[in-house]
Each structure stands twice: as C-alpha cells, then as structure tokens.
C-alpha cells in the first residue's frame, strides 16, 4: 500500500442498513484500489453493524468503528478522520454512490494539477434509486467568499490533500461539512472542480436538506454565529446563496 497515494474514505453511518451496501459496493468497484474505508457507526438501531462487519471480513481495507453514544454527523466524521492514515481524505455518505472511476479520475487530476481540494459534478437519484435527476454542474473554482454565496460543494464528491491543507475537524453544527470547507478556505486554499459527473446523491424523503426554509435559516446562522459576518456582508452572501439555490433545485 502506497501511503503517499492512499485515500482514506470517511463514512458516517446511522441506521444505514437500507442503503449502505450500495455505498460500500461503489467503493469496492473503484478502479483506483489504494484506499481504506473507515465506517463509523453512530449507535445505529438497525442492522448497520452486521452489514458492515460482513464487508470487513471480506476486505481488510474496510474498517468499522463504533461510537460509544449517539453523537451526530460531525463527531462521527471526526472519529473516522482521527483513524485515517491516507494523504487524501475522501467523503462518502452512507446513502450515496460513487461511479467506478471516481477516485482514479479525481486523484489523477489532483496529482497532475497540484490541486489540494477538489469536488466533482454529480446527479441526484430518488430514494429508491430509480429516478435520476439532471447533472449538477459545480463552479470551476470556489474560494471562501464564493462558497459563502454558493453552497455548491456536495460532501460525497470532496477529496482533500490533508498533507497540504493541514488537519481538519468538523464543527458540531447543522452544516458541519460546509463550515469545514470554509475553514480550509480561510487558510488560503481554493477548491477546484473536476469536470466529471462522478457521484450519485440520494435524495431521501426524510432528508433534512429537503426542508429549504430550515436550510436557509441554518445558512444564515452560519454567517452570523460561526463565521461572524457583519449584517451587510451576510445579506450580500445570503442573496447569492438564495439565487444559486433556486438554480440548483431546478435540476432535482
């Protein structure tokens, strides 16, 4: 295993029995084989532990960890990150799916171009996976203020070179991933798009992100309480966020 090109895949899981097999199978199907999959079970009440354990027995690149108590996505992701050994961190939620060449293409671009923070295009699928939405094209690049105005980065498409950007830690907030990307960008890094459709984002009927009003409220709170932006700057950012959100939801 080449540690310099090892990808540590971060997968939080809570009551994920219904979809996690598809997520894990999409990792096993990767043409890029130098990876470890770190699944952290957040005290699931279903058969998540049993399902993941079966895969651990089959492939020692898959590792299962268990939270001592139900802790939410931020702490669960952090517990996986703390176990990671790779130069690269990739993120895959337990109900999403990668296309087979996702890691090969994305890591290849990062190595060739010297990018340290990348994301890709993706398309949405229905909860049952039978209905596929249009391709969601992300911006070519995003810096701190651009991301504030356009929450265009989908977590299951992200790869970070942690040797370059430094240690990361998710904050215990509603949008733990969004605030993490902002923190990395505040260090002076720019995120780059890999112009390929490489992931399927599952829109579950119970998904909190489907509640657009609550999502908007949480974005506003991020501006004011976490990023501590002034009122005028917050309004400017929120206007951009709202316009970009309308464009994005047209492709559901």
CATH code of 54's domain: 3.90.550.10
Give pLDDT tens digits along the chain (252 positions). Answer: 677 899 999 999 999 999 999 999 999 999 999 999 999 999 999 999 999 999 999 999 999 999 999 999 999 999 999 999 999 999 999 999 999 999 999 999 999 999 999 999 999 998 888 878 889 999 999 999 999 998 889 999 999 999 999 999 999 999 999 999 999 999 999 999 999 999 999 987 655 445 778 888 999 999 999 999 999 999 999 999 988 887 766 655
Distances, alpha carbon 247 to alpha carbons 133, 205, 240, in Å: 14, 21, 11
Residue 233 belongs to some domain of the structure: no
Residue 224 belongs to some domain of the structure: no
pTM for this one?
0.92
Residue 19 belongs to some domain of the structure: yes
Total of domains in the chain: 1
Segments forming the whole domain that contains residue 36: 3-208
Looking only at the bridges linking them, the beta strands covering 159-161 and 117-126 are antiparallel
Q: Are 46 and 69 in contact (CB under 8 A)?
A: no
């Amino acid at each position: 295993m080449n540690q310099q090109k090892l990808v540590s895949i971060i997968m939080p899981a809570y009551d994920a029995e219904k979809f996690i097999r598809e997520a894990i199978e999409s990792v096993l199907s990767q043409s890029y084989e130098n990876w470890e999959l770190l699944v952290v079970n957040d005290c699931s009440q279903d058969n998540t532990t049993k399902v993941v354990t079966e895969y651990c027995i089959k492939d020692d690149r898959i590792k299962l960890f268990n939270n001592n108590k139900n802790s939410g996505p931020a702490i669960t992701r952090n517990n996986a990150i703390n176990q990671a050994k790779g130069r690269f961190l990739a993120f895959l939620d337990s109900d999403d799916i990668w296309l087979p060449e996702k890691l090969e293409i994305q890591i290849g671009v990062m190595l060739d171009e010297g990018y340290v923070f990348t994301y890709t295009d993706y398309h949405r699928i229905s909860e049952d996976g039978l209905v596929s939405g249009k391709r969601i094209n992300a911006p070519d690049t995003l810096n701190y203020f651009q991301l504030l105005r356009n929450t265009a980065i989908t977590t299951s498409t992200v790869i970070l070179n942690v040797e370059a950007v430094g240690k990361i830690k998710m904050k215990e907030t509603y949008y733990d991933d969004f605030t993490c990307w902002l923190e990395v960008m505040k260090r002076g890094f720019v995120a780059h798009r890999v112009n390929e459709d490489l992931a399927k984002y599952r829109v579950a009927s119970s998904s909190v992100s489907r509640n657009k009003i609550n999502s908007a409220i949480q974005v506003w709170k991020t501006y004011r309480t976490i990023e501590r932006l002034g009122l005028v700057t917050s309004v400017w950012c929120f206007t951009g966020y709202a316009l970009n959100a309308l464009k994005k939801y047209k492709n559901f």
